[in-house]
Amino acid sequence: MRTLGTTLERNAANYPDRPALAYHDRIVTFGDLRRRALRLADGLYLRGLRRQERVAILSRNSLEYCEVSAATEHAGFICTTVNFRLAPPEIEYVLLDSGAKALVFDVEYAEVVDGLRGVFPNLLLVCTRGSVPWALDYESLIAEGAIEGPPIVAAPDDIGCLIYTSGTTGRPKGVARRHWRWRTYADMMLLEMKIGFAPVNLVMTPLFHVGAKIQVLATHEMAGLVVVEDNFDAKRALGVIERFRVTHMFVVATMMQALLEAADQASFDLSSLERITMAGAPIPVPTLRRALARFGKVIMIQYGMTEAELTVLHPQEINPEGTSQDIERLTSVGHPNGLTEVSIWDDEGSECSIGTPGEIVVRSPATLDFYWNNSCATVDSIRDGWFRTGDVGKRDERGYIYLVDRKKDMIISGGENIYSREVEEALITHEALREVAVIGIPDPKWGEAVVAVVVLQKRAEVDPETLIAYSRTRLARYKCPKAVVFTSELPRVPSGKVDKVALRRTASASLSSQRPEA
């Protein structure tokens, strides 16, 4: 059985001069990546790190980030990714929960790390792309290491990487997945994305997220080039696609909207694109139509989470000009792949009938092994090999899966169950709206009241009463919003999903400020 480190060894042996990584004007070959990764791994070993101990990384996307990942994958250290958008107490929690023995951080976050040093007096600190007097210099650590690497290597059953969830329903949980499961996950992506030899994959989403991580693994599995961007800028991204002849990329819905707007304003050669994977949040059908018109039939819809990959809607299944059934299926997330089983369960654990909403559960060789340091969450979520996603969905007569809601986001108003996505899909068809998120907020009469938080299209104008009236032409009255809140943007977690916890707070505060004082 192979490990994640096997891929780098093979590519360095067979294609040492092929480009593995590109970052702005810097190119790293597979041979160079192996040499630096092994020396870094040995430098960490000489400083006391041993197999399966955690090496945390706090950084934007960079070449160094990829080198740290490669070093840990070779030696069997566990790379623990830290969301750089977290507040210091949240970063402290991840470091404590993971039991990190080392933290590699970009100099950009030196002030944050300095503030945490008192909590972690024994944590090995390594600074990249700059220096501070109280941390090891990254390049110096690499220089300390032997070119042949440390006297340890990863095993297939070792944990390959520890990625923490977005924490949309509570504190983040560390998702532990063994090397062989990561390899299986990468192989699934190769099949789903139709990746051939030597692809060029543009990675703009943060590498601390599973979506970016798996893109790197799948691309390097086929000896391809990963073009790394540290920030998403739509116009720059289109230029990078043209310059590097990018074949594959992964985006969330908000990124696609920005790319479409930038593409309308300037001309770029995007003919190299073979597959654009969209995931992270439900894709509004109007956005999907525009993307197909601009990029062609290269759009693939993917549904998954940090813990599991579930379903795919392939380009050949996306037909906005087809039958009413074809158009209806644009709102689905497709079918499970050949290695994945997906079912819909009721509260008693029995399979739901066609069209009946229930909890989506998945069984696959690529799902998580367990939640790190959290046996209770593991027991609650994994039963008889099935992972309970916490998402509500339904299946149609041909096996297409439709997302309905998060179980914890379902609104109960006047005793009726209301699924927020159904309301969102009805409202987003209004021409004035760019984005919609629907939440429930406490209401003394109804228990919860349906509230729509909306982002307008540029130069669009519409009032709440008009939107509520519009929703009543498409939904049962009890499902319609009782209030509308306007905002310039929706808060999101790193995966691209709307942060409904934050949204409930801000919407409640906004509506409270609008109420006249008694």
At residue 250, the pLDDT reads 95
Q: What pLDDT was estimated at residue 412? A: 81
The pLDDT of residue 63 is above 60:
yes
Res. 445: pLDDT tops 80: no
Asked if 4-231 and 307-407 have one fold, the answer is no
Q: Which helix (H) or strand (E) holds 436?
A: strand 433-443
Higher pLDDT pick, 325 / 246:
246
**What confidence category does residue 59 fall into, taking pLDDT thresholds of 50, 70 and 90?**
very high
| Fold of the domain built from segment(s) 4-231 | Rossmann fold (3.40.50)
pLDDT of residue 515: 55
Percent of the chain with pLDDT over 70: 97
Do residues 41 and 72 touch, judged by C-beta distance below 8 A? Answer: yes
Q: Which two tokens stand for residue 289?
A: 């139509």
Q: Whole-model pTM?
A: 0.85
User: What backbone torsions phi and psi does residue 160 show, to the nearest 5 degrees?
Assistant: -90, -35
Residue with tokens 């399966």: 52
Closest listed residue to residue 164, CA positions, set 466, 420, 341, 372: 372
For residues 21 and 35, what is the distance between their CA atoms, to the nearest angstrom? 14
pLDDT at residue 242, rounded to an integer: 97
Rounded average pLDDT over 399-425: 84
Residues whose CB falls within 8 Å of the CB of residue 319, separated by 6 or more in sequence, listed in order = 326, 327
- Which of 78, 104, 103 is CA-nearest to residue 162? 78
The percentage of residues in the chain with a pLDDT greater than 90, rounded to a whole number, is: 72
Looking at the predicted structure, is the pLDDT value of residue 507 above 90?
no
Residue 167 pLDDT = 62
The answer to whether 385 and 363 have CB atoms below 8 angstroms apart is: yes
Is the per-residue pLDDT at 518 higher than 50?
A: no
Joined together, the tokens standing for residue 322 give 């087809």
pLDDT band for 41, please (50, 70, 90 cuts).
Answer: very high
Q: Residue 126 above 70 pLDDT? A: yes
The pLDDT, as a whole number, for residue 509 is: 85
- Mean pLDDT: which of 80-94, 146-160, 336-350, 446-460 is highest? 146-160
Map out the domains of the chain as residue ranges. 4-231, 307-407, 410-514
Residue 357 has pLDDT above 70, yes or no: yes
pLDDT-derived band at 516, boundaries 50, 70, 90: very low
Domain 410-514 listed as CATH 3.40.718.10: no
pLDDT for the residue 517: 43
For residues 25-40, average pLDDT: 97
Least confident of 61-65, 105-109, 449-453: 449-453
For 307-407, give the CATH class: mainly beta
- pLDDT range class, residue 26, cuts 50, 70, 90: very high
Instruction: Please state, in angstroms and rounded to a whole number, the distance separating the CA atoms of residues 483 and 486.
Output: 10
Residue 170's pLDDT band (boundaries 50, 70, 90)? low
Instruction: State the chain's mean pLDDT as an integer.
Output: 92
Hey, how many other C-beta atoms are within 10 angstroms of the C-beta on 89? 8
Q: What is the pLDDT of residue 282?
A: 63
pLDDT above 50 for 81: yes
Q: pLDDT of 474-483, one tens digit each?
A: 888 889 999 9
pLDDT exceeds 90 at position 381: yes
Q: What are phi and psi of 303, to 5 degrees?
A: -120, 120
Per-residue pLDDT band for 498 (boundaries 50, 70, 90) equals confident
Round to whole Å and give the CA distance between 230 and 207.
Answer: 9
Model pLDDT, residue 454: 95
Most confident of 96-105, 191-200, 347-356, 486-495: 96-105
Q: From CA 314, how far away is CA 58, in angstroms rounded?
A: 34
Q: Average pLDDT for residues 240-248, to the nearest whole number? A: 97
With bands split at pLDDT 50, 70 and 90, how would you rate the model's confidence at 389? Answer: very high
What are the tens digits of pLDDT across the range 278-294? 986 667 777 888 899 89
Tell me the DSSP string of 190-241: HHHHT--SS-EEEE-S-TTSHHHHHHHHHHHHTT-EEEE-SS--HHHHHHHH
